[in-house]
Chains A and B, each alone.
Chain A
Amino acid sequence: MSDPLARWEPTARDPFDLAKVGHLLRRAGHGAPLRTRRELVRAGLDAALAFVAPPPAEAAPVDLLLREAIAFADADRVRAYRVWLVLQGAHPLRERTSCFWHDHFATGNQKVQDPRAMALQLATFDRLGLGCFDDLLRAMCRDPALLRWLDNDLNTARQPNENFARELFELFTLGRGAYGEADVREAARCFTGWHVRDGVFHLQPHLHDGGPKRLFGTHDVRDGDDVVAAVVARPESARFLARRWLQWFVHPEPDDADVAALAAVYERSGRDIGATLRTLLQSRLFFAAAAWRAKIKSPAEFVIGTVRLLGARAAPTELAVAMASLGETWLEPPSVEGWHRERAWLSPAAWLLRSNFVADLLAGRRGKLRPSPATWFAGVDGPAQQARAAVLLLLDGELDRDGQQHLEAVARAQAGAPPDIAAAAVLHAATCLPEYQLC
């Protein structure tokens, strides 16, 4: 009974309610309109899981508009297209997981200088991000953007460049301390000649080091695929990925025991990412109190999430600009380590920018929000009901009495104001509650 990853079962005292649905959608997606959330409460946990991760056949083809999105080879456009995909939310878990892999294999266009290659890398995450990790890693070792980003272009038998091999171990699979300098050197030799030509992966046999190489003291390897096969099978790799998934989906500081448990699930599944995450998302660990609002929303979660919670429509180009001003520019991670998350997102100045973004969005000054705020308060009368409606929309009905009273006071002060202005004020105030910054 102590298995943290055992399936969570609702009870009369702890039912599958709006708060549970909200938690699942925030972590496994970017939120959803209140109507959808209420339907999922009625439909139950399995239906909710099917909603965030529909079977592949039902999901719209991800690269439907990829051809058009990269026609101008413009990074801003690719960014806006990604925001649009997430806003549409056809496959919440996949979009969420692609964000995870973008942070994990953090690649920046500033150096790659090829927005098309960047868009194709993200499309690879959409395609393989919930499949077998072996396949994803093999694809990443041939990904033109990543190879260029980590200088594998310059990696030749004559002059090996260790950048790619080092990050492969340190950032993508094992973590610091789980490999030696000799392993980096040997792996780098395996990737010699794995280059990019005309925007596609190109193997240059004459630049490849064909000599014998040995990894981790035991594995004889020849090329990059051998390195992938050797590294994914390491128990350190399972633990490294499990820790990152727990940090991303459950709690920023996971327990070692939980890491070990999730690593075991991953290994048993045959390194199936989707199966592992689905187990995680219906686990007791996931629905435990410790996970509740334990993370700070990233700018994407804050900006896109707000539009999705309202069930509104907004301009992806403008949302992408807002996210960038809050410190999250997709396609441009600050470093190879991805974004500095959690508390690093939020300084007083960043809090002001977030709050002002919501004010501008609700007032129609930015983002082309449709419909107007009063729509959400249709049929809602009086400050108490307005406060409750805002808390249902934005916080799944979860707010203590003090917060509720403060929100009512805001609503009372709007008595007599035009409906859109009053609604905008109450909704804006709800986003100023500390709970709203938490994911």
Chain B
Amino acid sequence: MVRRLSVLATLWLGGVVGTAAAQADPSPLLALVPDDAVAVVVVAAPVPLQRALAALVEPLPAELPDELRAQVGLGLVALRRALGGPVGAWLEGVAGGGAVLAWRPAATGPRWWGALRPTDAAAAAAFCDARLPGVRRTLRDGLLVLGDDTAATTGRWPRTDLAARAAVTVGAVAAVDLAALRDRFGGAALARQDARTFALAPIVHALQHADWLQLQWTAAGDRTELVATAAAAWPQATVVPVAAGAPSFEVLAALQLDRDVAALLREPERWLDADGVQAVRSFLSIADGLDGPRSSFVDDLVAQLPAPWSLHVLAASPGDADDDAPPIELPEFVLSAAVADERAVAVALRAAGLLATIANAERAQRGQAPFLVRTCRDEQGHGLCAEPPPWRGPGAPPTEQGLSPTLWYGGGRLALASTQRAARLVCSAAALPGNGPGDRLVLCGPLLARAITANRDVLALARMLDEGEDAAVAQRFVATFAAVADAIAGVEVAVTQDGAATRIALTAERRR
């Protein structure tokens, strides 16, 4: 059965990095890292990491097309043959007890540097001869140095906590010297201003201002997690975390953006390029006119919907699957935010009513029947809902027949949704996946797989038209995509502020 995503989210939040006993101390390896390295990766225990990763991938999902399974199998056999034995055994010989990789920028391009603790010096030497010809290697004190072993080392890397953190992690830890990186390459690439800068503001800010980026990648059981922390802060309103509880409906994906949209509209030039600024101004000159002089679109509406804003994608409602349904089972979309001042609701409803009138006028110009717009109310909320006109025509109804665009206010939230059902569900839910502090993206693999499967013909057609595939190849691609999604219980990306640090955590969990 499909597990509810919220349960999953709770699991992740509660989860702690797994520890492994009796790992080798990577400090001696770290002591050899040249000072001019700007990025260093440490793996204290390569073999357990390899095993954990293999366990995540294998066995391959049974739903994968057979030829793909065969291809992966062949690849594994080929890899074993190339290594002369099982991967774990080979890894144990070459780097048992730990490995450190460093990246050193140089005038002639980047240079890699590495230090390994081989447990089988002969195997390590054979590997270097066969796979890394031309790379200098030096063996000393049971440590193997790949690359320049004469580079200056004053021990700036051992002073970090990399060794300590690596020793308790089944996985890899890394550190990037952002300040050195900026010195070297300049921050110009990060200084660009456009809509993406706004969407990725915390990350851009961290890359511009933080000195260190720490990464920690762990794999344990069915879970893998990548956490990146940059020592920097970014300015924004504080967020009250919402405790995740199980909602009574299925959320396929959730995106939360912890950003002040009113600030963007008030000062677009702070965030956007010239064309973007113009687009915002032109939008406002119409949006502000919708409600006339009674209200300001920014001050009285947008500013009353403080951060975070959430987009939830709900699995399509289990309607009657008959021939009268549109051929596409569209997931339902809800954009919502908490309301600070209830007066904003009336502004939004008036603007929505006018927009609906305009949209209907445009439909009339194309000879299409209007959507039926009416106000709706129940115990938990009220709103404005547009229903498609009754469908009469040849063939299956078009996709728009599955829409009932709705603006809904309930439970203190204002929601703009593609269906009335979804709007009510999101506004009345006690807790929602994807909520919590910061920016978040949550995907639920099995629900995604179900949506893909329900729409496989449409998605296959998209592959045919956009990629030029024939029907069989396109169907196989969609089936593979669905099988992979189904094997992943969930993925969460969270960008949060933790004191003065920016933390980016990516977690994925395998489902069996």
Contact = CB atoms under 8 A, between A and B. Distances in A.
A65 B471 CA distance: 10
Given A71-B458, A72-B399, A313 B394 contact: no
B468 A315 contact: yes
A81 B465 contact: yes
A197 to B, nearest CB: 8
A346 interface: no
Contact of A71 (B367, B396, B470): B396
Given A65-B457, A65-B461, A69-B461, A200 B393 contact: yes
Contacts of B461: 65, 68-69, 81
Interface string B374-413: 0000000000000000001111101110000000000000
Nearest to A81: B465
Contacts of A200: 393-394
Interface residues of B, number: 24
B366 A71 contact: no
Contacts of A370: 468
Given A67-B327, A88-B470, A116-B395, A73 B465 contact: no
B367 to A, nearest CB: 6
A70 B398 contact: yes
A316 interface: yes
A81 to B, nearest CB: 6
B275 interface: no
A436 interface: no
Contacts of A69: 461
Among B366, B367, B465, B466, which residue has the most Cβ atoms of chain A within 10 A? B465
Contact of A67 (B396, B464, B465, B466): B396
Contact of A313 (B366, B392, B393, B468): B468
Given A68-B327, A71-B328, A71-B396, A77 B465 contact: yes
Contacts of A138: none
Contacts, number: 76
A314 interface: yes
A199 B367 CA distance: 10
A116 B461 CA distance: 16
Nearest to A120: B394
Nearest to A315: B468
Given A65-B461, A71-B326, A73-B399, A314 B393 contact: no
Nearest to A148: B367
B467 A368 contact: yes
Nearest to A66: B395
Given A68-B458, A68-B461, A316 B468 contact: yes
A190 B74 CA distance: 71
B451 to A, nearest CB: 15
Nearest to B465: A80
B364 to A, nearest CB: 11
A251 B11 CA distance: 74
A315 B400 contact: no
A84 B398 contact: no
A198 B368 CA distance: 9
Given A71-B326, A197-B392, 11 more contacts: A70-B395, A70-B398, A71-B396, A72-B328, A73-B399, A81-B465, A198-B393, A199-B392, A313-B470, A314-B468, A315-B465
A72 B398 contact: yes
Given A77-B465, A81-B461, A120 B395 contact: yes
A113 interface: yes
Nearest to B463: A315
B469 interface: yes
Interface of B: 326-328, 366-367, 392-396, 398-400, 457-458, 461, 464-471
Contacts of B458: 68, 71
Nearest to A112: B367
A113 B392 CA distance: 17
B396 A198 contact: no
11 contacts: A65-B471, A67-B395, A68-B457, A70-B395, A70-B398, A72-B398, A199-B392, A313-B468, A314-B468, A315-B466, A316-B466
A69 B457 CA distance: 10
A231 to B, nearest CB: 26
B399 A116 contact: no
Contacts of A68: 327-328, 457-458, 461
A317 interface: yes
B348 to A, nearest CB: 28
Contacts of A315: 465-468
Interface string A99-127: 00000000000000110100010000000
A111 to B, nearest CB: 10
A221 B327 CA distance: 43
A202 to B, nearest CB: 10
Nearest to B365: A113
A262 interface: no
Contacts of A188: none
A274 B464 CA distance: 29
A368 B468 contact: yes
B452 to A, nearest CB: 14
Nearest to A83: B465
A379 to B, nearest CB: 25
B270 to A, nearest CB: 36
B88 to A, nearest CB: 37
A408 to B, nearest CB: 32
B462 to A, nearest CB: 9
A275 to B, nearest CB: 30
A383 B471 CA distance: 38
A370 B463 CA distance: 14
B417 to A, nearest CB: 20
A87 interface: yes
Contacts of B393: 116, 198-200
B86 to A, nearest CB: 35
A116 B457 contact: no
Contacts of A114: 367
A92 to B, nearest CB: 16
A368 B467 CA distance: 7
Contacts of B398: 70-73, 116
Given A70-B395, A71-B326, A120-B395, A317 B400 contact: no
A71 B403 CA distance: 13
Contacts of B396: 67, 71
Contacts of B400: 73
Given A67-B327, A71-B326, A84 B395 contact: no
A71 B328 CA distance: 7
A116 B394 contact: yes
B478 to A, nearest CB: 12
A370 B473 CA distance: 14
The 4 nearest A-B residue pairs measured at CB: A199-B393, A198-B392, A80-B465, A73-B398
Interface in A19-76: 64-73
Nearest to A80: B465
A97 to B, nearest CB: 22
